[in-house]
C-alpha cells in the first residue's frame, strides 16, 4: 500500500529541480507579458493628462495656451510666475510622493506576501511622523536629508515591530488580519504620542501640525531636488530585486531552489520600502492609503486587461465589429467638433451650426473658413495613411510594414521636392500628382527587389529601410543645393503641416479615399486570404 500512496508535496521540488513542466499557451503568455507594459502606458497617459489639468487649475488664470507658450520659451508674466513658483513644485512633489508610496506599497506586499501590507498598515508612516515630531519637540532644526534619516529610523522601527507582532517578521507568513490589526494598533499609539508632543511642545513644533496632515504645498524646491535622487535610487534597487521578489511569491523553498536567499530579499525590500516612505513623509507628511491603493489599482487594471484580452480574442462577431465601428465614429465626430470649436478664438456649437447653414457672422465665417479645411485635411490624411498601412501589411504579410518604412513616403517626398525646387509656381494638384507617381515608383522598386527569390518579410523590411535611407539622402541633397526660397517651401511641405490648407487642397486625398474604399471593399476577401 505504501508504494501506491501519492505524495503531492514532492511535485513542486521535482518541478523546480528541472523536471519537465507543461508549457502555458503562447498567446496567454504573450498577454501576460504585455499586460504590465499596457497598464504602464495607460498610467503614463492618464498621469500626463491630469498633470496638465493640474497646472491650469487655480486662482491665477494660466490656461493651456499660456502653458504652451511658457514651454516654447516665451518669457513668464505675473500669472505664469505663479505657475513656476507654486503649481510646478506642487506637481513635482505629488509625483515624487505618489511614486515613492506606490512602489513602497508594492515592495511591502511582495516581501510579506500580503496584499494588505502598505506603509500605513505597517505603521511606517506613523513611525516616521512620530520620529520627526519628537526631534522637533526638543527644539532641534535639522536639514532635510537629516530629517529624512530620522524618519527612516522611526519608520523602520515601526515596520519591524509590526512584523514581529503579527508573526510575519521571519518568513512573511503573518496572516493579513493579524498584520492589519498589529499595524493599526501601533499606528494609533504613535498618532496619540505624536498628538501629545504637538500639544506639550506647541512652540517648538509650530507649523508641523499642518504638515502632519499631509500637504503637497511646497515653498522650497531644494528639498524636492535633494530627495529625488534618493527615491530614484531606491526604486532602481527594487527593480534589481524584482526577480527575487517574484520568487518570494512561489514560497521560500522555491526561492532557495532557484538560488535566491528569501530572507535577504525580504529584508532588502522592506528597508528600501521604508526609505521611500520616509522620503515621502519628509516631503509631504504622512499621506495615507496611496501605498495600499496603488498596487491594488494596478493589479485590477492588469487583470481587467487580461480578461478583456481573452474576451476580445473570442468576440469576433459582426455585432462586436459594429459596436467598435460605431464607437470610433462617435469619437471621430467628437474630435471633429472639438477641432472646429477650439483654438485661439473659441467658438460655440451654435456658431458651428450657423456656419454650416450659412447664417454665421463675419468673425465666425473667417475663423471657420480657415480652421475647417485644416481639420478636414487632417482627417483625410489620417484615413489615407491608415488605409495605405493596412494594405501594405496585408500584401506583405508583415505587421511592421508601412509607407514610411518601405520607402513609399520617401519616393513621394522626393518627387514632390523635385517639382517644388524646379517649378516653384507649381500648384497643389501638380505637386500631389508628382508625389503619387514617385510613391508608386518607389513601391515598385521595393517590392520588385523583395520578390526576387520569394517575398520574405524580413527581406522586404530591410530593402524598404535601405531605399528610404537613399531617398532621404537625395532629398537632403536637393534641399541643400536649391535656393533659400524653394528650400523653405520644400521644408514646409515635408513637415506635414496642415497650415494654409483650403477646401481645394483637400480634394486629392478625398478623391483617393473615395475611389479606394469601394475597390477595397470588393477585394476584402482576397486580402483576408493573403494573411
**Residue 35, Cβ density class (10 Å: 0-12 exposed, 13-18 middle, ≥19 buried):** middle
pLDDT of residue 384: 87
- Per-residue DSSP letter, 10: G
Give the residue, 316 or 510, on which the prediction is more confident: 510
pLDDT of residue 357: 84
Across 32-36, 124-128, 278-282, 360-364, least confident range: 32-36
Q: Does domain 366-530 have CATH number 1.10.3470.10?
A: yes
Q: Is the pLDDT of residue 243 over 70?
A: yes
Give per-residue pLDDT as tens, 488-500: 777 777 777 777 7
**Fold match between domain 31-312 and domain 366-530:** yes
- Per-residue DSSP letter, 173: -
The neighbour count for residue 476, using CB atoms within 10 Å, is 11
Q: How many CA atoms lie within 13 A of 324 on its CB side?
A: 8
The DSSP element (H or E) to which 422 belongs, if any, is: helix 408-422
Distance CA(288)–CA(187), nearest Å, equals 12
Across 66-75, 275-284, 397-406, least confident range: 66-75
- Domain spans in the chain, listed from the N-terminal domain onward: 31-312, 366-530
State in words which class domain 31-312 has.
Answer: mainly alpha
- Per-residue DSSP letter, 337: H
Across 14-23, 139-148, 405-414, 432-441, least confident range: 14-23
∠ CA 428-434-437, nearest 5°, is: 140
Cell numbers that stand for 345 in this block = 478664438
Q: Is the pLDDT of residue 374 over 80?
A: yes
Amino acid at each position: 500500500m505504501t508504494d501506491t500512496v501519492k505524495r503531492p508535496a514532492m511535485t513542486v521540488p521535482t518541478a523546480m529541480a528541472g523536471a519537465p513542466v507543461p508549457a502555458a499557451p503562447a498567446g496567454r503568455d504573450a498577454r501576460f507579458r504585455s499586460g504590465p507594459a499596457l497598464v504602464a502606458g495607460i498610467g503614463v497617459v492618464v498621469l500626463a493628462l491630469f498633470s496638465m489639468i493640474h497646472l491650469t487649475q487655480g486662482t491665477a488664470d494660466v490656461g493651456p495656451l499660456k502653458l504652451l507658450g511658457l514651454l516654447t520659451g516665451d518669457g513668464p508674466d505675473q500669472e505664469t510666475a505663479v505657475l513656476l513658483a507654486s503649481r510646478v513644485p506642487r506637481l513635482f512633489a505629488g509625483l515624487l510622493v505618489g511614486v515613492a508610496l506606490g512602489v513602497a506599497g508594492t515592495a511591502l506586499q511582495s516581501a510579506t506576501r500580503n496584499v494588505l501590507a502598505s506603509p500605513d498598515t505597517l505603521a511606517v508612516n506613523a513611525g516616521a511622523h512620530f520620529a520627526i515630531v519628537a526631534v522637533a519637540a526638543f527644539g532641534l532644526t535639522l536639514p532635510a536629508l537629516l530629517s529624512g534619516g530620522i524618519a527612516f529610523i522611526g519608520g523602520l522601527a515601526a515596520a519591524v515591530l509590526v512584523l514581529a507582532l503579527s508573526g510575519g517578521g521571519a518568513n512573511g507568513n503573518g496572516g493579513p488580519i493579524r498584520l492589519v490589526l498589529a499595524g493599526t494598533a501601533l499606528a494609533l499609539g504613535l498618532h496619540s504620542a505624536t498628538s501629545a508632543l504637538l500639544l506639550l511642545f506647541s512652540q517648538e513644533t509650530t507649523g508641523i501640525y499642518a504638515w502632519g496632515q499631509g500637504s503637497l504645498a511646497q515653498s522650497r524646491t531644494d528639498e524636492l531636488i535633494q530627495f529625488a535622487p534618493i527615491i530614484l535610487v531606491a526604486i532602481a534597487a527594487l527593480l534589481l530585486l524584482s526577480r527575487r521578489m517574484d520568487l518570494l511569491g512561489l514560497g521560500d523553498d522555491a526561492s532557495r531552489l532557484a538560488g535566491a536567499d528569501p530572507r535577504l530579499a525580504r529584508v532588502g525590500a522592506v528597508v528600501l520600502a521604508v526609505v521611500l516612505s520616509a522620503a515621502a513623509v519628509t516631503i509631504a507628511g504622512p499621506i495615507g492609503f496611496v501605498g495600499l491603493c496603488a498596487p491594488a489599482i494596478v493589479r485590477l487594471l492588469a487583470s481587467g486587461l487580461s480578461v478583456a484580452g481573452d474576451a476580445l480574442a473570442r468576440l469576433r462577431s459582426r455585432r462586436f465589429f459594429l459596436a467598435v465601428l460605431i464607437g470610433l465614429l462617435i469619437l471621430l465626430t467628437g474630435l471633429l467638433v472639438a477641432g472646429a470649436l477650439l483654438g485661439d478664438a473659441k467658438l460655440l456649437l451654435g456658431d458651428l451650426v450657423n456656419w454650416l447653414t450659412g447664417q454665421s457672422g463675419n468673425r465666425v465665417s473667417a475663423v471657420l473658413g480657415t480652421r475647417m479645411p485644416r481639420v478636414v485635411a487632417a482627417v483625410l490624411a489620417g484615413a489615407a495613411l491608415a488605409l495605405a498601412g493596412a494594405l501594405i501589411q496585408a500584401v506583405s504579410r508583415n505587421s511592421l510594414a508601412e509607407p514610411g518604412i518601405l520607402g513609399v513616403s520617401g519616393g513621394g517626398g522626393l518627387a514632390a521636392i523635385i517639382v517644388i525646387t524646379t517649378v516653384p509656381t507649381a500648384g497643389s494638384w501638380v505637386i500631389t500628382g508628382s508625389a503619387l507617381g514617385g510613391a508608386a515608383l518607389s513601391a515598385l522598386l521595393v517590392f520588385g527587389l523583395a520578390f526576387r527569390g520569394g517575398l520574405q518579410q524580413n527581406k522586404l523590411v530591410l530593402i524598404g529601410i535601405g531605399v528610404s535611407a537613399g531617398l532621404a539622402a537625395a532629398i537632403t541633397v536637393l534641399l541643400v543645393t536649391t535656393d533659400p526660397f524653394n528650400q523653405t517651401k520644400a521644408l514646409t511641405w515635408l513637415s506635414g503641416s496642415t497650415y494654409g490648407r483650403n477646401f481645394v487642397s483637400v480634394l486629392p486625398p478625398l478623391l483617393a479615399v473615395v475611389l479606394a474604399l469601394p475597390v477595397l471593399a470588393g477585394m476584402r476577401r482576397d486580402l483576408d486570404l493573403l494573411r
